[in-house]
């Protein structure tokens, strides 16, 4: 019998054939290119393909394990739509006449340095992450109690769907809630937050309180 040690990816007992998977050390090389427009087009095609694959993963995961657990794939799709990131990749390809892989890697390094230079401790920690394995532990009971759990998920998703938007604008622009913006702002201010707060500043408990308040307003017919 051979003993194999390593990091645990799943806590439990499994019976079957063992397959050893080693992490490849991929080195991105700088390659000189002649046609920058063609290289940008190749990058755009790869991005579109990745977005389509992520959408398929999201749809499949929603059906199998629910909307909340599938949100990670939606976040990855949003990253592929980040105009600052995309513009940086395009500019490096065009200005330096280099391959798309090198431009993507360079942009990633530049963004990591930008996060590391920020005053925000959370963003500094983000810069240290090259890759990560996330362990998810399912709660025996929901961590918060709300009047409508599905509505809570809609609130959270809408809060992060639009980049650089305040929480009030993100919810108002989502088109998912039949409430005027002043009611949305009122719900946020009831949490002790300013009208210009962003979604990432709220804790789960605060999202739950906001969801309950807005749900009550909808049930009472406080629409426009």
23 against 41, higher pLDDT: 41
At which residue do the structure tokens 């998977």 appear?
A: 21
Tens digits of residue pLDDT in 90-114 = 999 999 999 999 999 898 888 778 7
Tens digits of residue pLDDT in 124-180 = 555 555 444 445 566 678 888 899 988 888 888 888 776 667 888 888 887 777 788
**Distances from the Cα of 115 to the Cα of 25, 89, 110, 120, 172, angstroms:** 24, 17, 9, 8, 29
In this structure, the number of other CB atoms found within 10 A of the CB of residue 120 comes to 9
User: What is the per-residue pLDDT for 208?
Assistant: 92
């Amino acid at each position: 019998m051979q003993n194999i040690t390593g990091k645990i990816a799943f806590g439990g007992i499994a019976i079957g054939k063992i397959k050893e998977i080693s992490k490849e050390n991929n080195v991105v090389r700088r390659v000189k290119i002649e046609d920058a427009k063609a290289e940008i087009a190749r990058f755009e095609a790869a991005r579109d393909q990745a977005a389509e694959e992520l959408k398929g993963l999201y749809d499949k995961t929603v059906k199998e394990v629910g909307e909340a657990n599938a949100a990670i794939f939606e976040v990855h799709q949003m990253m592929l739509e980040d105009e600052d990131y995309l513009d940086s990749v395009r500019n490096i390809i065009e200005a330096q006449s280099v391959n798309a892989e090198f431009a993507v890697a360079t942009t990633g390094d530049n963004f990591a340095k930008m996060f590391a230079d920020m005053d925000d401790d959370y963003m500094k920690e983000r810069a240290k992450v090259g890759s990560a394995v996330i362990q998810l532990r399912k709660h025996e009971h929901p961590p918060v109690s709300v009047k409508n759990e599905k509505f809570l998920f809609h609130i959270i998703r809408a809060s992060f769907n639009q980049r650089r938007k305040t929480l009030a604008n993100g919810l108002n622009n989502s088109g998912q809630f039949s409430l005027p913006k002043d009611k949305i702002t009122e719900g946020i201010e009831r949490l002790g937050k300013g009208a210009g707060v962003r979604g990432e500043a709220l804790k789960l408990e605060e999202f739950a309180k906001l969801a309950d308040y807005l749900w009550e307003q909808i049930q009472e017919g406080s629409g426009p």
